[in-house]
Structures are given as C-alpha cells and as structure tokens.
C-alpha cells in the first residue's frame, strides 16, 4: 500500500477545503471498499480525509414529506430506521441484502454511492483494465464474465455496479446532495452515474472536489408497497447476479403507478423506464408483466457466458411484480 496522510474532518467546510486542496485526496467513510482497494494497490490516495465524524449522520423528514439521509449514516442505521422500513421498505431490504452485518455497520451511505464498479480484472494488477488504466483493454470481454453487464455496456468495460442500496435509490428517484468550495449542488440519481461509454474510469458526475453530504428521497406513496429481491450464487453475503427493486400500486386491477430498477446488469443501477411505460394503465397480470420485462430487456446484449442473465432478469421482474400485485390486491 502506498503511504498516505490522514486528516479527520470535523465540519463540512473543513472537509471540502481539504478535498479541494489535494487532487490525490479521498474521503474515508467506513473504508470497506476504499481500504480494500488500497491494499490491492488499485486505489493510491495521497491523503485520506476521514469524514465519519461530520455531522451528517441524521435521517429526517424533508419539508415536502420525503426523507433526507445524511452521507455518514451507516448502512445498518439506514436499514433499521422505522421510517425507511415503513415508507421505503425496498430500500431497507436492499441494504440488508448487501454485504455482512459487520460491513453494514462500517459502511456509509456516501461511501456506498461511491464504491467502485468493479470486476476481478479491475482488482488484479497483473491484468489490463480500462477502468484502472484507461486504454489498456478489457480482458473480461474475452475472459471471465459470467456476472458481467447485459445492459448499457460498451466495448471498453462490461463490469457491473455492485450496490444493492443504489438499485432501490434508482427506483425511488433519489437526489444526491453535495458541497463544493463554490457552494452546494445536487444531482438527480438518473444523472449521478455516468454511462460507461469509452470512459469507464469516470463513474459518476460528481464534480471534482465535491463532498457528498446526503441523499433525499421524494415523498412517494407507491414506495410503501415495494420490495427488493436479490439472486446470488449463495444464500447470503455475495454480490447479486441479478436483482430487482420494485414498487407497485394497483387499483381495480389496473397498474396506477410503478417503479422498477434492476441491479447487477449494468455499470450503474438500471432504472427500467421502458418497462414502467408499458405497465402504466395496463391490467396487472402475467401478460403485462412479461411485456414490460421484454420491453426493458429488448436492448440486452449478452456475452458468451452471461446470456442466462437475460432469462433470469425476465423471470425475476415477472415474479417480483406478480408478488407485489398479489400483496397490494389483498
């Protein structure tokens, strides 16, 4: 590991000043991804700014009835919070589906958003990786890629975003709030993660030197009827091979409102807007659910070893919507 300086930030302006003064500085939250990548030699910051003691650990209602979640709230506190569990249950479920109890206690919301989209080649310094060394190539496309992207990938990178939490946030139209030396800013979730294109090393639209201060969720009645479902290669403590966050409102047998986002299929959490468009106003049932899944997955492009994901995601979307429809009909 490369040597680095360490500073504990006590307030937001102090953290932003430190961050702006050193392009090699990185924020340290729980360190569950950053420290791991530093050990591997993938991340090589010159300065760590410890942000855990910043006064950003609250979860509170916003004026419009939404929820504001501070950047240093731990995954555990987010998932245990009664209002999150009551009003956005898929978000609590998504967080609980990720990592282990130990890691959820350490990991922060801000850090979760900024964890790297990664695969085995990214963390293996002996192999090329366009994300780690731009222009060096992507061995995954010809190599080990059974858990790689089927949507929105490019010839430069096919890694998938590993966060479960972010899938639920994508479904619920979260907004990311940040602070810079020039003042505060915000990014809607749909714009926070960049398309992979030919710049896989640039993962987010967060401006240089910006500190994430929190996220906000809009008041979203449909979110109260939501679920997160994750498929993985063992029963617990593994990354998804596919996941779905869904919220559904059915009245008189007709889909009134729906939110759908997919995980482990793209370089970023994948909001399934094409599927949502198909569903609105349709009778809630197997035909509409299958048509919605097909509409979203029409753009899927499988590699030789991840074609199963297209079928998996189709089945997962249909099963998830069916379950929610039965639940809301009761």
Partner 1 sequence: MALSTSSAITLNINGEKHALPVDHRTTLLDALRERLDLTGTKKGCDQGQCGACTVLIDGRRAVSCLQLAVAAEGREITTIEGVADGETLHPVQQAFLDLDGYQCGYCTPGQICSALAVIEEHAAGWPSAASADVRPEAGIPPLTPEEIRERMSGNLCRCGAYVSIVQAVARAAAAHGAGSTPGIETQGVETRESETPGSEVGPAGTAGAEVTA
From 135, 183, 208, 236, residue interacting with partner 1 (rule: CB under 8 A) = 236
Dihedral angle over CA of 143, 147, 152, 157, nearest 10? -40
* Burial (Cβ within 10 Å: 0-12, 13-18, ≥19) of residue 231: middle
Contacting partner 1 within 38-77 (CB under 8 A): 39, 46-48, 50, 52, 76
In the complex, minimum distance from the CB of residue 80 to partner 1, in angstroms, rounded to a whole number? 5
Of 130, 97, 109, which is closest to residue 214 (Cα–Cα)?
109
In the complex, minimum distance from the CB of residue 132 to partner 1, in angstroms, rounded to a whole number? 18
Candidates 93-101, 275-283, 286-294, 297-305: pick the segment binding partner 1 (CB under 8 A).
93-101
In the complex, minimum distance from the CB of residue 230 to partner 1, in angstroms, rounded to a whole number? 8
d(CA 247, CA 324): 8
Does 221 sit near partner 1 (CB under 8 A)? no
Angstrom distances, CA of residue 178 to CA of 112, 143, 209: 15, 38, 10
In the complex, minimum distance from the CB of residue 151 to partner 1, in angstroms, rounded to a whole number? 25
Site string for partner 1, 22-41 (x = CB under 8 A): ------x-xxx--xx--x--
Q: Judging by DSSP bridges, how do beta strands 211-217 and 67-70 pair with one another?
A: antiparallel
How many residues bind partner 1 (CB under 8 A)? The answer is 41
Closer to partner 1 by CB, 76 or 154: give it. Answer: 76
Write out the H or E segment, with its range, that includes residue 214.
strand 211-217
Does 99 sit near partner 1 (CB under 8 A)? yes
Of 58, 51, 61, 44, which is closest to residue 4 (Cα–Cα)?
44
Contact 59, 135 (CB under 8 A): no
Closer to partner 1 by CB, 86 or 251: give it. Answer: 86
Of 148, 143, 169, 173, which is closest to residue 266 (Cα–Cα)?
148
∠ CA 97-75-93, nearest 5°, is 35
Closer to partner 1 by CB, 10 or 299: give it. Answer: 10
Looking up tokens 């994300």 gives 131
In the complex, minimum distance from the CB of residue 93 to partner 1, in angstroms, rounded to a whole number? 6
Site string for partner 1, 159-198 (x = CB under 8 A): ----------------------------------------
d(CA 96, CA 93): 5
From 183, 235, 252, 304, residue interacting with partner 1 (rule: CB under 8 A) = 235
Q: What are the residues binding partner 1 (CB under 8 A)?
A: 1, 3-6, 8, 28, 30-32, 35-36, 39, 46-48, 50, 52, 76, 79-82, 85-86, 89, 92-93, 96-97, 99-103, 105-106, 230, 235-237
């Amino acid at each position: 590991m490369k040597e680095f300086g360490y500073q504990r930030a006590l307030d937001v302006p102090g953290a932003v000043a430190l961050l702006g003064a050193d392009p090699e500085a990185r924020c340290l939250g729980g360190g569950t991804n950053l420290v791991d990548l530093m050990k591997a030699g993938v991340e090589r910051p010159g300065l760590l700014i410890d942000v855990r003691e910043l006064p950003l650990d609250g979860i509170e209602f916003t004026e419009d009835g939404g929820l504001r979640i501070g950047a240093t709230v731990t995954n555990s506190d987010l998932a245990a919070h009664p209002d999150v569990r009551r009003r956005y249950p898929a978000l609590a479920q998504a967080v609980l589906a990720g990592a282990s109890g130990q890691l959820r206690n350490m990991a922060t919301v801000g850090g979760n958003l900024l964890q790297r989209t990664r695969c085995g080649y990214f963390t293996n310094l002996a192999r090329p990786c366009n994300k780690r060394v731009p222009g060096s190539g992507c061995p995954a496309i010809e190599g080990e890629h059974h858990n790689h992207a089927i949507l929105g990938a490019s010839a430069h990178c096919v890694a998938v975003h590993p966060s479960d939490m972010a899938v639920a946030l994508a479904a619920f139209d979260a907004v990311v709030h940040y602070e810079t030396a020039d003042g505060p800013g915000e990014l809607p979730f749909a714009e926070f993660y960049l398309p992979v294109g030919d710049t896989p090393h640039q993962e987010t639209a967060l401006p240089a030197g910006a500190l994430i201060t929190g996220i906000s969720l809009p008041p979203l009645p449909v979110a109260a009827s939501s679920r997160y479902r994750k498929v993985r290669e063992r029963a617990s403590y593994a990354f998804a091979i596919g996941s779905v966050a869904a919220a559904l409102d059915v009245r008189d047998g007709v889909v009134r409102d729906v939110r759908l986002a997919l995980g482990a299929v793209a370089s970023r959490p994948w909001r399934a807007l094409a599927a949502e468009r198909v569903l609105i106003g349709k009778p809630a049932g197997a035909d509409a659910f299958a048509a919605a899944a097909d509409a979203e997955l029409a753009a899927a492009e499988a590699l030789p070893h991840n074609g199963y994901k297209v079928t998996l995601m189709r089945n997962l979307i249909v099963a998830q919507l069916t379950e929610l429809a039965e639940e809301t009909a009761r």
